[in-house]
Amino acid sequence: GAPHALPPLPPPSRWEEPPPPPRALPIMFKLEEAIPSNTPAQAFKQLDAISLCIRLAMEGRLNDSVAARPRPLVIHERALFTNAARGFGVLDLRPVLEERGPIAQFAASRWPDSPPNSDLNPVFFLWHADLFPDLQTVSYAVHGMPDHCSMPPTVVLCPPAVSALKAIANFIECTDKDEEAGFTSRPYRFCPSWPFLGDSCSVHFRNDSARLCWDKSGPRKIPHFIPFNESLPLDSLPIIVYVTIHTSTREVAIFSSSGFETRMWKMDLSKAYRRAGRQNMDLWKQGRVTHRGCTLDFRGQFGDACQANLENRVWGFGLWVARKLCLALEHLFPSHDPVVLAWVAFRSSKRLFVKLGDVWAFFDDVHGGGINDPILSSDGSPVLVEGVPLLRCLLYYNATMVVFEAAGYEFPLKKREPPTFLLDLLGALVRVREQHIVVHPDKRVRYIRELEVAERSLFLDRDFLNSLAHKLIYCACIMVRLHPWLFPIFKCLRAPSRSSRAPISPKARDSFSKCRTALASADNHFLPFAAVEAFPSLGDSLLIIYADAAGEGRYEGNGFWFVVAGTCFLFTDTWSASEAKVPIHAREAFISTAATMAAHTLFPNRNFVLEYTDNTPTEFVHDSQSSRCELLQLIVDARAEFFDASGMCALPQRVKSKDNRWADLLSRGQADLVLYEVDACGLSPMWLNLPPDALRLRKALLNASLSR
């Protein structure tokens, strides 16, 4: 039968107990007993200034509001406590502010006696922790997430960011929703904890939805103050290997090699970032000043530099449990289909790991896929759910949902996509049947609209340009053809300027135009799933070409080779005495381009080319599609014209010289040795000539070199 194993495991770590409780604080009923007399006055004055700033924004007086924004107030540790209150940890001022008792202390949250404010189910994590090596993550989920910040006790009171004042209605709405959901404390007229880190909040929009983000990298340029994010030991945190769309679709392509129907599904965790509770001892670093006063945040915050790492470790635990459950279901309900069984037997014979489905997660986007064979009971009859035969992908989909719901997460109906052939995944559209990844149509429409503005502009706002450039980077991961056009855009973005507007060069405007045209016909530009038949590869649309040029020693030549369907196509020749005067970097760039042109002549339907070269300048020039060297720019222009006419997409790749052996031997006149090794590999050799496009480029290169 097929070998089964547990899913990949994170690095091991030890269970971490919460900190011990602080020593008992003497009974104090007044703020003046714990805080030096002049300090509360400073804080109240700052809070009044922030309140005025917010009130002006609420009245629609934005300019006055921005002008009234006070500078951040920072009160250092030495001015925080009276001698009677010093050394007793973080003070809880809420009982005094609510007039219900003396000043209290923040003690560490510890389940089950004093659990954190959290939606996570501690019993789930403890029950499934067996065999899971990252026990530190389990302890965080149970007792509360520490922030790992080494910031000394400090009071910081910051006004909302200008973006929050501009979108004051959204700021108030988000703040009120957090309080209603129980993510924050009620607002207080003074700091609810002492010390208190009241970060500046900004408002960001994503898909027309407002979201709060905390500036935990500020305030800056305050003497003797190190911001929260700069106090984090980021280098000591475990490295998280993030799943990409290529990871999951590659595995789905391997499932498809079984010859049986394959589907994918997904579900988005709702407010996943805000489900895990903070360790109570660290709540003082989770404050903010709102339109109604000071509040404490009980959950993770956008802007915390280590929050993504902590949350991903917790989600990884849920993912591990879901994968375990899917493997158990596969063992309980093995496939009975002869096509699937033959595939399982084949992969088992090759000692390849075999499973019929899998689950992945990129942050809070949980998705999966697999072979969609019917689930049969032990007697061979189909398992029915409400009279409908149950299929494997739906079984794994429901099992994964049960696991994460048991952990304490929620999946809104609008964020669930049951097993399907067409999936909106991580911003792209995945066509499972065709094994294609394309840019999502909704994104295309938005990006084209922005590109139309950009290609007509002589200047662009830097924030707009930065956003658009990174959107194009995302598109270039799917539409490889866009990649060379990005360099002029980023050159404008990085150009030094004191202005908030960046000048747009003619080359950048031309790049915007080409990107817009390509996105308008993006249905014809896709990325393959990266598998064919039983073994991972890049399918029938890809060509992998190795090229090299020799420019030193007694033999100066060039060569390239590539393999298609058991035939090794080769080319070699020497440079003439005149051509040998062309700089070696230009010859390297030429032969790499000529190889792609020759391959297209033979295989016009292969649209994707990986150009391997051991010459770093060649890789850079082909990648950036720009050069100050006249000869290299000549090659760049010829490449752009060729790719526009042919519809090909080329991605240059750097390879070590020792791994570019055959191309190196061909460039040095040692074709006999290459033919011997080609024959030893069981390949049939076929010699090529340069196509007309390459010959014209070679002649133009020589003429340009002689005229210098």
pLDDT at position 468 is 94
Whether the Cβ atoms of residue 523 and residue 625 lie closer than 8 Å to each other: no
DSSP string, 134-183: BHHHHHHHHH-B-----PPS-EEE-PPPHHHHHTHHHHHHHHHHHHHTTS
Cis peptide before 12 (omega within 30 of 0): no
Instruction: Report the pLDDT value the prediction gives residue 8, as an integer from 0 to 100.
Output: 61
- Enclosing H/E stretch for 32: helix 31-34
pLDDT for the residue 268 = 92
Stretches in the chain below the pLDDT threshold 50: 1-6, 531-538
CB 214 within 8 A of CB 197: no
Continuous segment of H or E residues that includes residue 436:
strand 436-439
pLDDT at 522: 60
Question: Amino acid identity, residue 661?
Answer: R
Q: Tell me the pTM.
A: 0.79
Share of the chain above pLDDT 70, in %: 95
- Which amino acid would we find at residue 634? L
State the first-to-last Cα distance of the chain, in angstroms, to the nearest integer: 70
* Candidates 3.30.1360.120, 3.40.50.2000, 3.30.530.20, 3.30.420.10; CATH matching 539-706: 3.30.420.10
Output the CA–CA distances (angstroms, integers) from residue 247 to 252, 307, 362, 531, 589, in the order listed. Answer: 9, 24, 11, 11, 32
Give Dmax over CA atoms of the chain in angstroms.
96
pLDDT at 380: 87
- Which H, E and C letters describe 438-452, residue by residue? EECHHHHHHHHHHHH
Output helix, strand, coil percentages for the chain, rounded to the nearest 5. 45, 20, 35
Q: Which two tokens stand for residue 294?
A: 């000071």
- Would strands 542-549 and 557-564 be described as parallel, antiparallel, or unpaired? antiparallel
What confidence score (pLDDT) does residue 540 get?
61
Domain(s) labelled CATH 3.30.420.10 in the chain stretch across: 539-706
What is the pLDDT, as a whole number, of residue 656?
A: 80
Identify whether the C-beta of residue 236 lies closer than 8 Å to the C-beta of residue 195.
Answer: no
